[in-house]
């Protein structure tokens, strides 16, 4: 029995010795295998990331090239449209620059998104800044928008005579934010474009022709038919007055002290005031030669004795 136990113990000790001798070799192999596994995985990840980044950069370059091409095409279209509408050169360059900057900003944000950079905070920050600036410059932006509308749709142009915003004058210059009007006595009135684009504007020059209205008076007892014939002669002899449509002459009113005759005639817009003042002067000088008089305000007073 004792011999058996001794044999078993010797076998166990031999196995333990063999295990102790072989343990360092197994650990080194394990470390080596783990090291090899980590390096390969790291290399694989690096290669995958580099490939992904390369593809993103390639796509970004393609988007940039396509975007630049589209921006240049749109730029040419806008430029052609502005030139066709004869937009002022300074305004033309400003609008074209604005279009290019906005489109380039959109393109850059798109490329940043393709590269994997989060653009939501960037866009939100830009939008917040835009809202703040817009609120601070709301009146100025309204004037700018009004100027753009005026330049594009042309309700009036430089040289036209208009009534707008409670003032009247000739359009001297249309600027980005304001329009300059010149009055008859050579005063310069600066009108914000927001008012001109939102309020009623009377343009006396846009149609090309204008109707001149007069009201002439003769005394009671004068020959109305003769006065009418004399006025018709004056209208036909002035070459600046159009005969189609023909001048209109009629008895307008039987006033307290005078017989009022209304005369209407069509002329070119540029001849309006010359014809108006010239006809007034001729009537004053020549009515008396035809036996026609100008009445004065009068009152009959009757005195009775009691």
Whether residue 199 is found in the same domain as residue 213:
no
78-93, pLDDT tens digit by residue?
Answer: 888 878 877 666 566 6
Whether residue 92 is found in the same domain as residue 109:
yes
Whether residue 48 is found in the same domain as residue 97:
yes
Q: How many domains does the chain have?
A: 3
- Residues composing the chain: 306
CA distances from 46 to 51, 111, 172 (A): 8, 23, 68
Q: Does some domain include residue 147?
A: no
In this prediction the pTM is: 0.54
The CATH number given to whatever domain includes residue 34 is 1.10.287.1260
Whether residue 117 is found in the same domain as residue 103:
yes
217-245, pLDDT tens digit by residue?
Answer: 999 999 999 999 999 999 999 999 999 99
CA distance 160 to 306: 67
Whether residue 128 is found in the same domain as residue 41:
yes
The CATH number given to whatever domain includes residue 194 is 2.30.30.60
Q: Does some domain include residue 146?
A: no
The CATH number given to whatever domain includes residue 248 is 3.30.70.100
Q: State which residues form the domain around 264.
A: 209-290
The label of the residue with tokens 């005078």 reads 258
- Radius of gyration (Cα) for the chain, nearest Å? 47
Whether residue 102 is found in the same domain as residue 197:
no
Residue-level pLDDT at 234: 96
CA distance 97 to 82: 13
């Amino acid at each position: 029995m004792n011999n058996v136990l001794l044999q078993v113990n010797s076998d166990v000790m031999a196995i333990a010795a063999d295990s102790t001798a072989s343990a360092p070799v197994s650990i080194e192999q394990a470390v080596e295998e783990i090291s090899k596994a980590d390096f390969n995985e790291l290399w694989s990840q690096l290669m995958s990331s580099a490939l992904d980044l390369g593809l993103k950069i390639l796509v970004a370059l393609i988007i940039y090239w396509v975007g630049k091409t589209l921006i240049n095409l749109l730029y040419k279209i806008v430029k052609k449209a502005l030139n066709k509408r004869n937009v002022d050169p300074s305004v033309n360059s400003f609008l074209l620059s604005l279009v290019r900057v906005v489109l380039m900003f959109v393109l850059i944000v798109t490329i940043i998104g393709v590269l994997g950079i989060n653009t939501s905070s960037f866009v939100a920050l830009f939008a917040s800044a835009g809202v703040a600036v817009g609120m601070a410059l709301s009146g100025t932006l309204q004037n700018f928008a009004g100027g753009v509308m005026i330049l594009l749709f042309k309700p009036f142009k430089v040289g036209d005579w208009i009534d707008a915003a409670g003032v009247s004058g000739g359009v001297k210059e249309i600027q980005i934010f304001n329009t300059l009007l010149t009055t008859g006595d050579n005063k310069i009135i600066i009108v914000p474009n927001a008012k001109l684009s939102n309020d009623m504007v009377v343009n006396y020059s846009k149609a090309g022709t204008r109707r001149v209205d007069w009201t002439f008076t003769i005394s009671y007892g004068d020959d109305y038919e003769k006065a009418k014939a004399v006025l018709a002669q004056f209208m036909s002899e002035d070459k600046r007055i159009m005969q189609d449509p023909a001048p209109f002459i009629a008895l307008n009113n039987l006033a307290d002290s005078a017989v009022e005759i209304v005369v209407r005639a069509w002329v070119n817009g540029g001849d309006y005031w010359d014809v108006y003042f010239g006809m007034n002067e001729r009537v004053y000088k020549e009515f008396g030669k035809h036996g026609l008089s100008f009445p004065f305000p009068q009152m009959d007073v009757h005195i009775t004795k009691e």
